[in-house]
Amino acid sequence: MTVGPRKVNDRVAFRNNGTIEIVVIFRVGMGVCLENLISISRQPDLSPATTKGSRMHFDAWIPASLLVWVVGVQMVTAAETTVPPDRIRENTPVVFALTNARIVISPGKVIGKGTLVLRDGIIVAAGAGVAVPKDATVRDLAGRTLYAGLIDAYSEVASAEPDKAKDAGRGAARPATSGTPESPGGAEYWSNQVTPQLRVDRTFAPDHEQNKQLRDQGITARLLAPSTGVVKGTSTLVNTGDGRAGSAILRDRVALHAKFHVRFSWSEERAYPTSPMGAFTLFRQAFYDADWYKKAWETYRRNPGLARPERNEALEMLQGYAGGGTPVIIDTPDELYFLRADQAGRELGLNVIVRGSGREYRRLDAVKASGRAVILPVVVPDTPKVKTPEEGMTVDLAELLHWDLFPENAGMLDKAGVRIAFSGSGLKSGTTLLDSVRKFVDRGLGADAALRALTVTPAALFGVADRLGTLEPGKIANLIVADGDLFNKKTKVLETWIDGERYETKAYYGEDLRGTWEATIDGPRPEALTVVLKGEPTKLSGKVGRDEKEVDLSTVALDRAQLGLSFKGDDLGMAGVVRMSATLSGGAMLGTGVAADGRTFDWTATRTAPFVPEPEKTPPEPPSKSLYAANFPLGAHGVASLPVQPTAVLFRNATVWTSGPQGVIERGSVLVQRGKIVAVGRELAAPADALVVDASGMHITPGLIDCHSHTASDGGINEVGQAITAEVRIGDFVDCNDISIYRELAGGLTTANVLHGSANPIGGQNQVIKLRWGALPEQMKFEGAPPGIKFALGENVKQSNWDRRSGRYPQTRMGVEQLIRDEFKAALDYRKRWTDWRARGKGMPPRVDLELETIAEILEGKRLVHCHSYRQDEILALLRTFESFKVQLATLQHILEGYKVADAIAKHGAGASCFSDWWAYKLEVYDAIPYNGALMHDVGVVASFNSDSDELARRLNTEAAKAVKYGGLSEEEALKFVTLNPAKQLRIDARVGSIEAGKDADLAIWNGPPLSTSSRCEETWIDGRKYFDREDDAKQRVEAEKMRAALIQKILKEGGSDEKKDKGDGKPDEHPRPPRTDIYCERHDGIEGGY
Amino acid sequence: MRRVTSGALFAVTLAGSALASTQIPAKPQDHPIALVGGTVHPVSGQEIAGGVVVFDGGKIVAIGKDVNIPGGAERIDVTGKQVYPSLIDANTTIGLIEVGAARATNDMAESGQINPNVKAQVAVNADSELFPVARSNGVTLALAVPQGGLISGQSALIQMDGWTWEEMTLRSPVAMHINWPDMVPVKAWWMRETEEKQIETRDRNLDLIRQAFDEARAYQTARTAAGIAGVPFHGYDSRWEAMIPVLDGKIPIIVNADEIRQIEAAVAFAVSEKVRLVICGGYDAPSCAGLLKKHNVAVIVDGTHRVPRRDDDAYDAAYTVAERLRLAGVPFCIAGGGESANVRNLAYQAAMAVAFGLPKEEALTAITLHPARILGIDDRVGSLDTGKDATIIVTTGDPLEIPSRVEMEFIQGRRIDLSDKQKLLWEKYKEKYRRAAPRD
């Protein structure tokens, strides 16, 4: 090919990799351009000899009437630049008029045919009657649709974390010691998990290859967030053009990023926080510290004579969030973390935006009520494996339902009025954000809503609504040129414009050649051919005809420069294979050809008819809607709604074990009104509106109470990063989805004391819950139950049974005693500092220390202590410690040597909550005896039997029978070990624990004597609502099997075609659940958890 | 202070040394004994109200309503009491471990994957405090099972009285124990390996099991052929030597398997290897009951006090395994869940199955005669029949109900001291509070 070397422009751009691109543009032939792109090393000698490589491509099919834009080169606009030129200055006009296009100004606001004027990277006019400025370069975009550029609302900088699949938690990855390489350095926070001072914009470098891929799917801006830590740092909003970082950054410090779901690690050298509970509280404490920091420095500035507060860059950078300023984006791996993020926002007054999980549909009402906007992932869940009978049998219904419901999540949220945006984070290459959102549109998300979620909403959330999100005049000229409706699967994004600079996409095609062309072969006797081109604009096929006959084109080769055709000419009277090529010139083809015998010819063609798409042979099936609505919690045992509370219920003809002064009543009745027991007796009249339950042959007991449980906690149970973690709260992580709740309900349990684990002498705060299956976490909390905390003594806290010595203080029972005493003293001092400061009314303000606050509440009698303890020496030492601070212990937990010092326990007034008969699972329980409970009871201790186990908690009634067997208590007294006594220990006996007028209607109905091993729980009531019914359970099993079968069929029919699975790093799959048991408690039965 | 029900008075003779029981083994039966007046539950037949059981020389010599009591027999009046064969726990580690977290007391699992040669009985600590506690509640017979690896070793049926493990071993080897690999990757917080890695490990382990059987067979062939017609001598291999009873069908393999794919794979393996198979665990066994029945595979339901394996499973799934197997005609027994310190609760594991449908008589059989049959020791124990060992318990009531107490116990006719460490501590501390109580 000959190139007319008529140089029109040279441009130089600096790449961040140290090479310089020189783009030389030659104009060739009839307005066709050849771009010669030479990439050479940055060195003084720019002679061609140093060329590392060159590539050529042709920029054909652009109407000759238009000027040519160069792809991939920085536009030098009229804006000021600090970059000194190293060549001749450039001054190409940057005023464009995009004419004859369909313009979607904003979602729902469409101009059928109009003009968009861009000047200096800004949209200056948009509309149907807009005049084309005289200085504008005009691009005719007839048949094209313009949209505002899309915004990817969340992406992450490359993670410094080690391979997530490896056994290393976050704590292991970044030890807390400051000065380690992973620490930010400088005046940092004590925990390197709190790094609000890390700013992505400070280290941002555009990745041109990635930007190209983003532009290909229409993304013109994205949020780039830090990836590690609990308080991770701040994000920046960048455009995806090929400019330098300085021109790409649209906004810095857009939001602060945080996450609570730290991963469990087996490492014994983990740093705080090792658990989600710890992370939440670290987040909380950091904001309290930030508040203190501000006040402390204000005070110091007013009075430099005071002791100088510490300098802390992290706390300085935490200013400006409280009170709802700059947003805080919190990652949430499921719908419960969504609610926790909302809770954190409410508590600390933060403007929280939730980075969601796609599981929000599971608690749509609560998500809606939060009022929070949510950034949704688009990575679809893996298709559940159901191909073999065994797979089908063992897959969770929740997983099947999720597969079916996930694609409708976005639509459901939008319809509920929740503001949504989308994140392409975690998408595997080959899948695009736009493709994924189109699937959501197929499944109920409105097209306007989808566009809003990709443009207007993120622009508003990130504080750039005045600059991005629509094509209104005044906005940054970030836009998309598409060849149809954006959410139609077939539509291609052809161009993106960023800051008024045009980029072609991978799908770009200069002109659509489809249609009917009349060709004329030059010669003495011109011959006519008809060429019909169809198919995709970039992948053409077609026919060629002559004299009423036609044959298929064997090849239609297309690149930007030329069209190449070949066909078997025999049927057309042209022997052999004929080859032809053409170059487009102003709407006409200028071609040459070679006949089978080698003779060459010239030809020309003009289009005589436009392309008419063939109707679809089989119209695509409309995407199927989800088969079932979400239930609560999602899965085989979920409910459609909470059970109703009848105005009145009368249970009749039952043997009523009251656990109260009325003892056991044969053929007794219990009357319940509005959730409360109002009468108990032999014969009670039913009020007119009462639901009457004939319980003939049945036994009714109070709902059972488990004084030591780890059920329904999603926070990791143990925060093991420090020996004292009084600040962490089980209550932050109530898991209302825990299937154990249902199973325990089915065993007659209604209340559980959910405790922190036993890893620390002073553990975290407990949460008493009622097993209100189907309710939200907050609704599960036992309203009014006094707050408490877990303490622990002995082997676990001194880590005796760990493989390696950690060296953590304490390592002896001596140290445990001292640590607790020391902490109590510290809390008293803490209170005094506050009292003194308040009294003085001036001076340096003390800081709020959530750990010492909690301890002070203990000393003030406002918080109950439940202490894991075994040996008589440690029990006695603890009692004496508490007595010296004039505090009464609420319960001693486990307390298997309690029988040895029962007199001291009774005198102190502590309750004792133990296992009935476990022993010998570690050395400190070698002297455990099953007579322990009865013997302590006999000496005057309020004693209970607990489970500490999701398994045992399902049959506490028969555990109680062991106090009959071992120690000879009456059955009635023994039953109190799992009803009234634990209620007393938890100070909730005014509400529950016995069947007495005035108490909550928490009842279990048994088909035989409650302490008999052959009895079974038939119904369980809480607050006068029936939460478990064995008959309903049987029906639900049938229903669940039907649902399972239907969903499996749907997957086998529809899911099979979609074998490709997205497995990116940020895959929003079920996050690995933290431990659900106290793993630092040597168990008698090894690890539980379904396996 | 309420007076605690007092049983027999125990001498508080707590020895200074820990980890050794103070109860003295009983003397061999030296005269005939007749239990008279109680309700006798032979398990192998109908209960006999006001029945008589006569035993001599450690064996039952007569049982029935009208039985001639030999002269010189000691007549023990058990009117109002219940007489049963001893309960049998078919899956324990009793004697092999004393204190869970104290590694020094743990002899359950040898290192390595293929240990067919190790034998449980030689590590059974005859003085374990766990034995008197277990037998106090009617369990005097238990299978001590090696743990760990893929082929864990050979189990032994232990009777819980004797000076040494030799005296306590009723039968060995009973079975070869195999841990079947998890066929499906485990997804749980405690799993340290990726799914891919788990599958890799699984496949390697399946190969190792298969290979062990192949090599054992090759060894058997070489040893048999050695010395005949010039075939050279083949040296001894203790691992494969131990496999010969398995290959010859003299003892079964007991395979730990709960998940359906494990069970199916184990059955397919046993069928192809032509060895006798017993499944232990068996959570999903009812889902492949047809297969088990067809190949005559029995199931040791390893406890009912288990949480369902899958979230979707019925809340009572583990409670109903035994009843579902019974209805499907699969032979089964119920074991105690492998918890060595609380072997005593075996009967309550069976009782849970009763609450959820298993007939009560079946539950009792499931912890006496059924395990004896499955373990191949029903010629000696498991029911009260003439000729069997006089290993008998006398209770105050149904042993499936918790408040019932064992009042008398015989192992091969030897009357057993029902004291244990826990009762002694109870007595000791009752004494503490008795002294502290104000005098009347």
At residue A622 the predicted structure's pLDDT band, cuts being 50, 70 and 90, is confident
Q: Across chain B, what does the average pLDDT equal? A: 94
Give me the count of residues in chain A: 1091
What CATH superfamily classification does B87-380 receive? Metal-dependent hydrolases (3.20.20.140)
- Residue of A359 and A163 predicted with greater confidence: A359
- Given a cut of 70, is residue A34 above it in pLDDT? no
Minimal-distance CA residue of chain B relative to A1028: B315
Pick A635's closest partner by Cβ from B192, B194, B312: B312
| A127: number of Cβ within 10 Å | 14
- Given a cut of 70, is residue A825 above it in pLDDT? yes
At residue A169 the predicted structure's pLDDT band, cuts being 50, 70 and 90, is very low
Phi, psi angle pair for A911, to nearest 5°: -80, 160
Interface of B with A in 257-316 (CB under 8 A): 259-261, 264, 287, 305-312, 314-316
Give the highest mean pLDDT range of A38-42, A818-822, B98-102.
A818-822
State percent of chain A over pLDDT 70. 87
- Given a cut of 50, is residue A944 above it in pLDDT? yes
Interface of A with B in 932-961 (CB under 8 A): 934-935, 938-940, 950-952, 954-955, 958, 961
Structure tokens, A860: 């003030």
Structure tokens, A966: 């071992």
The DSSP element (H or E) to which A563 belongs, if any, is strand A563-568
pLDDT tens digits, one per residue of A72-124: 333 444 567 888 888 888 888 899 999 999 999 999 999 999 999 999 999 99
At residue A724 the predicted structure's pLDDT band, cuts being 50, 70 and 90, is very high
- Given a cut of 90, is residue B251 above it in pLDDT? yes
The DSSP element (H or E) to which A740 belongs, if any, is helix A739-745
Alpha helices in A249-351, H assignment, sequence order: 276-302, 313-316, 335-348
- Residue of A1084 and B360 predicted with greater confidence: B360
pLDDT tens digits, one per residue of A463-485: 999 999 999 999 999 999 999 99
- Given a cut of 70, is residue B227 above it in pLDDT? yes
pTM of the predicted model as reported, rounded to 2 decimal places: 0.90
Q: Please give the order of strands across the beta sheet that includes A236-239.
A: A150-156, A219-225, A236-239, A249-251
- Given a cut of 80, is residue B13 above it in pLDDT? no
Interatomic CA distance for residues A905 and B244, integer angstroms: 60
**Residue A933 · residue A943 · CB < 8 Å:** yes
According to DSSP, the residues that pair with A423 across neighbouring strands are A377
Please state which of the ranges A208-222, A472-486, A591-605 shows the lowest mean pLDDT: A591-605
Give which of A1023, A1000, A1017, A1038 is closest to A775, Cα–Cα: A1023
Rounded mean pLDDT, B409-426: 97
Interatomic CA distance for residues A42 and A23, integer angstroms: 14
At residue A512 the predicted structure's pLDDT band, cuts being 50, 70 and 90, is confident
Residues from chain A contacting residue B361 (CB–CB below 8 Å)? none
Respond yes or no on whether the N-terminal peptide bond of residue B173 is cis (omega within 30° of 0): yes
Structure tokens, A1025: 């609502």
At residue B338 the predicted structure's pLDDT band, cuts being 50, 70 and 90, is confident
B434 in contact with A, Cβ within 8 Å: no
According to DSSP, the residues that pair with A665 across neighbouring strands are A656
Residues whose CB is less than 8 angstroms from the CB of residue A762 and which lie 6 or more positions away in sequence, other chains included: A723, A724, A725, A726, A789, A790, A791, A819, A820, A823, A855
B226 in contact with A, Cβ within 8 Å: no
Respond yes or no on whether the N-terminal peptide bond of residue A133 is cis (omega within 30° of 0): no
Domain boundaries, given as residue ranges, for chain B? 87-380
At residue A56 the predicted structure's pLDDT band, cuts being 50, 70 and 90, is very low
pLDDT tens digits, one per residue of A775-798: 999 999 999 999 999 999 999 999
At residue B14 the predicted structure's pLDDT band, cuts being 50, 70 and 90, is very low
Collapse the DSSP code of B33 into the 3-class scheme (helix H, G, I; strand E, B; otherwise coil) and give the result.
strand
**Using alpha carbons only, what angle is made at residue A1036 by residues A1035 and A1038, rounded to the nearest 5 degrees?**
70
According to DSSP, the residues that pair with A602 across neighbouring strands are A592
- Given a cut of 50, is residue A41 above it in pLDDT? no
Pick B101's closest partner by Cβ from A635, A746, A923: A923
Q: What per-residue confidence (pLDDT) applies to A1083?
A: 53
Residues whose CB is less than 8 angstroms from the CB of residue B232 and which lie 6 or more positions away in sequence, other chains included: B226
**Residue A280 · residue A340 · CB < 8 Å:** yes
Interface of B with A in 378-417 (CB under 8 A): 400-405
**Residue A1020 · residue A698 · CB < 8 Å:** no
Phi, psi angle pair for A336, to nearest 5°: -75, -35
Minimal-distance CA residue of chain A relative to B350: A1013
Interface of A with B in 1007-1026 (CB under 8 A): 1011-1016
- Given a cut of 50, is residue A764 above it in pLDDT? yes
Domains of chain A: residue spans and CATH = 1-73 (3.10.450), 150-504 (3.20.20.140), 515-610 (2.40.128.120), 644-702+993-1031 (2.30.40.10), 704-990 (3.20.20.140)
Q: What is the ipTM of this complex?
A: 0.95
At residue A1072 the predicted structure's pLDDT band, cuts being 50, 70 and 90, is low
Q: What per-residue confidence (pLDDT) applies to A1056?
A: 55
DSSP 3-state helix, strand, coil percentages of chain A (rounded to 5)?
A: 25, 30, 45
Residues whose CB is less than 8 angstroms from the CB of residue B154 and which lie 6 or more positions away in sequence, other chains included: B116, B117, B118, B119, B120, B146, B172, B173, B174, B175, B176, B177, B242, B251
CA–CA distance from A753 to each of A186, A947, A953, A1080 (Å)? 43, 10, 11, 18
Q: What per-residue confidence (pLDDT) applies to A693?
A: 97
Interatomic CA distance for residues A437 and A417, integer angstroms: 18
Pick B189's closest partner by Cβ from A264, A637, A934: A264
Interface of A with B in 1024-1043 (CB under 8 A): 1033, 1037, 1040
pLDDT tens digits, one per residue of A552-578: 999 998 876 688 999 998 888 888 899
**Residue A684 · residue A696 · CB < 8 Å:** no
Q: For testing the chain B interface, which of A264, A717, A801, A926 should be mutated: the one with the most B CBs within 10 Å? A: A926
Q: What per-residue confidence (pLDDT) applies to A26?
A: 34
At residue B295 the predicted structure's pLDDT band, cuts being 50, 70 and 90, is very high
Please state which of the ranges A727-731, A1062-1066, A1082-1086, B266-270 shows the lowest mean pLDDT: A1062-1066
A470 HSE (CA, 13 A, CB side) = 21
- Given a cut of 90, is residue A197 above it in pLDDT? yes
Residues from chain B contacting residue A266 (CB–CB below 8 Å)? 192
